[in-house]
């Protein structure tokens, strides 16, 4: 019997299993289904709907199949109008836009098929685990529909015990990246809507009663107390469990309660705390008679006190940069392996950053594991961006589900210090209600980290050179974070020196974006837009201006690398790229990179 508080996702069809097991499954290797998959591009969705636009799924409910499902011709005269075997191949993980030239701008359905051999062990469970599919996935195994998942950047899985065959198996996924008004994100964004099975796929095998969730976190710096919990998939009472951290010579012998859960707490003076200067991680092992899991976990605290952010009780200035999950060098797109993730974080390190904002959606898990190892604090975010359908309950549930999935996936990452709920959303009642509800949900899952949202600043009425932040959401979150583009949109960088700030909240102030577009290699006067000199000048003036803010605790300029966006069409300058990167899409550093690098190296 499985218990979970995330049943709502199931009812609304966001995932056919409970988000609650993500953490206990995602750290297992399993059988990789990465590599070549066959695809059929299906802009009219003919594999899903018949000519009366009725889903094949609904018609043949018993088998819950679809037309593009490897259906075998019953007789030689049966009409079958597709053939996966003769269709194109594509690499998984990967986006289709940069792998197949005709799909560069494509938004719609592509069917994916993978054939694989498997040999299920007796008395074990099997799961198919997807790290992410953008945006909607309908998944079928051996002709049977497993379920649907909505949301392009978070993991999901299906229990395929008794469904997976000994020998040959066929996994089919209908991937649809059409933008939707009621979607999260909605129709309008400023990034490329890469489609596809963009992250890893695995078959995972577990014992029948497996470790489905675990969490260890530091409660107190003074007493070095670590609190934790472990959840097993079954609610059997009295299952023996051992948690050990060999380097600390800790071994806790525990028993589950009648919810299959156990809570524990220990302290040890020997504990070294995780920080950017010393990103210490400990190997943690959890074992039962049937199952074992290991992870590398760092211990730290993060909290605010008045206008300060305290890491391990010490004030910290967040020297940040924003990053999209994209590696555009040589025409590439979505990050699809650990090397590319590492290159992005290595560039951030070269800037002397101790912090990154992973915008505007959850990035691949590798980024978080690397951030833990490399000592980089992280802001994680869900794609509640600009204008969401604030009054639509399904839209809310979708956002909540995506937030749950990323929070559960990364709950043991010491690097994650901030969960961010939204970006640049308009101040109005419906939006504030939606985001306040989302904030409450986040606190229920994890109240040991800071909550934020990238808000906006406004001109003070009658005083255009005085900037204020007036947003009821600022009362709900832990930081007053906002994006601002003085010197780029509607003004030039010389305005910065005239600006005064009035921010009345007794909370730390964080600037989640600033920046200017710049074509690498274009040089000219510092007042000439798109030149490296203009961007450099804007960075100098903005850093000076932000230094005047009382309670400033850091910033994350926009952005590390130029990134693709369909909004950015200016020929010879943008050519489909937002050019606010400090590094070009070919990996070349612009002049402003060195301004920020120097500032961060000198900043205490
Ligand atoms: C913003 C958005 C970001 C855009 C950026 C820009 O405020 O949060 O997604 O890409 O501005 O370049 O205008």
User: How far is ligand 1, taken at its centre, from the CA of residue 568, in Å?
Assistant: 11
Residue 50, number of CB atoms within 10 A of its CB: 12
Q: What is the distance between the alpha carbons of residues 254 and 270, in angstroms, rounded to a whole number?
A: 22
The string of pLDDT tens digits covering residues 38-58 is 999 999 999 999 888 888 876
User: How far is ligand 1, taken at its centre, from the CA of residue 342, in Å?
Assistant: 24
User: How far is ligand 1, taken at its centre, from the CA of residue 512, in Å?
Assistant: 10
Rounded to an integer, the average pLDDT of 439-443 is 98
For 194-307, strand residue ranges (E) read 201-207, 211-220, 225-232, 240-245, 250-255, 261-267, 282-287, 292-297, 302-305
Q: Identify the residue with better confidence: 515 or 60.
A: 515
Indicate if ligand 1 lies below 6 Å from the C-beta of 483.
yes
Indicate if ligand 1 lies below 6 Å from the C-beta of 563.
no
**How far, rounded to the nearest angstrom, does the alpha carbon of residue 518 sit from its chain's CA centroid?**
27
- At residue 110 the predicted structure's pLDDT band, cuts being 50, 70 and 90, is very high
pLDDT > 50? residue 4: no
- Ligand 1: which of 190, 421, 514, 515 to mutate, most ligand atoms within 8 Å of CB? 190
User: How far is ligand 1, taken at its centre, from the CA of residue 462, in Å?
Assistant: 27
Across the chain, mean pLDDT equals: 94
- At residue 3 the predicted structure's pLDDT band, cuts being 50, 70 and 90, is very low
Nearest alpha carbon, ligand 1 atom 10: 190
Helices (H) and strands (E) in the chain, counts: 10, 33
The string of pLDDT tens digits covering residues 260-269 is 999 999 999 9
Rounded to an integer, the average pLDDT of 411-430 is 98
> What's the pLDDT at 18?
55
Q: Which of 3, 361, 13 is nearest to 213 (CA)?
A: 3
Nearest alpha carbon, ligand 1 atom 3: 190
Residue 79, number of CB atoms within 10 A of its CB: 5
- At residue 5 the predicted structure's pLDDT band, cuts being 50, 70 and 90, is very low
> What's the pLDDT at 64?
52
pLDDT > 90? residue 1: no
pTM: 0.96
Q: Which helix (H) or strand (E) holds 346?
A: helix 338-350
- At residue 66 the predicted structure's pLDDT band, cuts being 50, 70 and 90, is confident
* Residue 359 alpha carbon, nearest atom of ligand 1: 9
- Ligand 1: which of 483, 489, 516 to mutate, most ligand atoms within 8 Å of CB? 483
> What's the pLDDT at 80?
86
User: How far is ligand 1, taken at its centre, from the CA of residue 146, in Å?
Assistant: 37
The string of pLDDT tens digits covering residues 290-328 is 999 999 999 999 999 999 999 999 999 999 999 999 999
> What's the pLDDT at 13?
41
Indicate if ligand 1 lies below 6 Å from the C-beta of 580.
yes
User: How far is ligand 1, taken at its centre, from the CA of residue 559, in Å?
Assistant: 9
Rounded to an integer, the average pLDDT of 198-221 is 97
Indicate if ligand 1 lies below 6 Å from the C-beta of 578.
yes
User: How far is ligand 1, taken at its centre, from the CA of residue 582, in Å?
Assistant: 14
User: How far is ligand 1, taken at its centre, from the CA of residue 484, in Å?
Assistant: 9
Q: What is the distance between the alpha carbons of residues 339 and 366, in angstroms, rounded to a whole number?
A: 10
* Residue 578 alpha carbon, nearest atom of ligand 1: 12
Burial category of 53 from C-beta neighbours within 10 Å (exposed 0-12, middle 13-18, buried 19 and up): exposed
CATH of domain 316-516+526-559+589-602: 3.20.20.80
User: How far is ligand 1, taken at its centre, from the CA of residue 578, in Å?
Assistant: 9
Rounded to an integer, the average pLDDT of 382-402 is 98
Rounded to an integer, the average pLDDT of 420-438 is 98
Rounded to an integer, the average pLDDT of 560-576 is 98
pLDDT > 70? residue 134: yes
Percentage of the chain exceeding pLDDT 90: 90
The DSSP code for 593 is H
Q: Dump the DSSP string for 243-260.
A: EEEGGGTEEEEEE--TTS
User: How far is ligand 1, taken at its centre, from the CA of residue 424, in Å?
Assistant: 9
Q: What is the distance between the alpha carbons of residues 143 and 157, in angstroms, rounded to a whole number?
A: 17
pLDDT > 60? residue 570: yes
- At residue 2 the predicted structure's pLDDT band, cuts being 50, 70 and 90, is very low
> What ranges do the domains of the chain cover?
2-207, 211-300, 316-516+526-559+589-602
Indicate if ligand 1 lies below 6 Å from the C-beta of 424.
yes
CATH of domain 2-207: 2.60.120.260
Indicate if ligand 1 lies below 6 Å from the C-beta of 481.
no
The string of pLDDT tens digits covering residues 448-472 is 999 999 999 999 999 989 999 999 9
Indicate if ligand 1 lies below 6 Å from the C-beta of 558.
yes
pLDDT > 90? residue 8: no
Q: Which long-range contacts (CB under 8 A, 24 or more apart) does 336-340 make?
A: 336/91, 336/93, 336/94, 336/95, 336/198, 336/199, 337/93, 337/366, 338/366, 338/370
Indicate if ligand 1 lies below 6 Å from the C-beta of 400.
no
Indicate if ligand 1 lies below 6 Å from the C-beta of 513.
yes
- At residue 61 the predicted structure's pLDDT band, cuts being 50, 70 and 90, is very low
Nearest alpha carbon, ligand 1 atom 4: 190
Q: Has domain 211-300 been given CATH number 2.60.40.10?
A: yes
User: How far is ligand 1, taken at its centre, from the CA of residue 327, in Å?
Assistant: 18
* Residue 488 alpha carbon, nearest atom of ligand 1: 13
């Amino acid at each position: 019997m499985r218990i979970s508080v995330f049943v709502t996702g199931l009812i609304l069809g966001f995932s056919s299993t409970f988000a609650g097991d993500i953490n206990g499954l995602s750290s297992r290797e399993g059988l990789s289904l990465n590599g070549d998959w066959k695809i059929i591009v299906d802009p009219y969705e003919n594999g899903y709907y018949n000519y009366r636009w009725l889903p094949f799924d609904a018609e043949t409910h018993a088998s819950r199949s679809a037309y593009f499902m490897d259906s075998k011709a019953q007789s030689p005269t049966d009409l079958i109008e597709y053939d996966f075997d003769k269709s194109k191949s594509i690499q998984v993980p990967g986006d289709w836009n940069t792998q197949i030239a005709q799909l560069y701008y494509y938004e719609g359905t592509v069917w994916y098929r993978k054939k694989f051999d498997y040999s299920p062990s007796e008395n074990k469970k099997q799961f198919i685990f997807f790290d992410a599919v953008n945006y909607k996935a309908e998944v079928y195994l051996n002709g049977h529909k497993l379920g649907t998942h909505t949301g392009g950047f978070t993991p999901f899985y299906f229990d395929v015990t008794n469904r997976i065959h000994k020998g040959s198996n066929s996994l089919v996924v209908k991937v649809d990246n059409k933008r939707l008004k009621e979607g999260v994100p909605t129709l309008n964004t400023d990034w490329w809507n890469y489609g596809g099975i963009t992250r890893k796929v695995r078959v995972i095998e577990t014992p029948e009663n497996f470790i489905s969730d675990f969490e260890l976190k530091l409660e107190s710096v003074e007493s070095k107390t670590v609190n934790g919990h472990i959840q097993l998939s079954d609610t059997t009472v009295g299952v023996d469990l051992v948690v050990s951290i060999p380097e600390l010579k800790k071994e806790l012998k525990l028993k589950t309660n009648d919810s299959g859960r156990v809570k524990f707490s220990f302290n040890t003076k020997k504990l070294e705390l995780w920080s950017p200067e010393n990103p210490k991680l400990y190997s943690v092992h959890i074992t039962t008679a049937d199952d074992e899991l290991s992870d590398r976990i760092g211990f730290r605290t993060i909290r605010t006190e008045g206008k300060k952010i305290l890491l391990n009780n010490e004030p910290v200035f967040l020297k940040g940069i924003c990053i999209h999950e994209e590696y555009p060098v040589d025409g590439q797109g979505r990050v699809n392996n650990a090397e590319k993730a590492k290159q992005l974080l290595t560039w951030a390190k070269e800037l002397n950053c101790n912090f990154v904002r992973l915008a505007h959606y959850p990035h691949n898990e590798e980024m978080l594991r690397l951030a833990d190892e490399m000592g980089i604090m992280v802001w994680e975010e869900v794609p509640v961006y600009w204008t969401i359908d604030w009054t639509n309950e399904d839209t809310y549930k979708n956002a909540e589900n995506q937030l749950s999935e990323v929070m559960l996936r990364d709950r043991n990452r010491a690097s994650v210090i901030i969960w961010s709920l939204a970006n640049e959303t308009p101040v109005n009642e419906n939006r504030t209600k939606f985001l306040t509800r989302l904030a409450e949900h986040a606190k229920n899952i994890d109240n040991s980290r800071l909550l934020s949202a990238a808000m906006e600043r406004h001109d003070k009425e009658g005083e255009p050179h005085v900037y204020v932040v007036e947003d009821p959401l600022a009362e709900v979150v832990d930081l007053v974070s906002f994006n601002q583009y003085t010197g780029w949109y509607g003004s030039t960088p010389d305005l910065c020196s005239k600006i005064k700030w009035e921010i009345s909240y007794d909370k730390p102030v964080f600037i989640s974006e600033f920046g200017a577009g710049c074509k690498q290699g274009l040089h000219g006067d510092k007042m000439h837009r798109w030149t490296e000199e203009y961007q450099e000048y804007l960075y100098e003036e903005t850093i000076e201006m932000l230094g005047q803010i009382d309670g400033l605790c850091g910033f994350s300029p926009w952005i590390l690398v130029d990134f693709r966006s369909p909004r950015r069409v200016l020929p010879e300058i943008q050519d489909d790229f937002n050019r606010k990167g400090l590094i070009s899409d070919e990996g070349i550093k612009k002049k402003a990179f060195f301004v920020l690098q120097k500032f961060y190296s000198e900043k205490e």
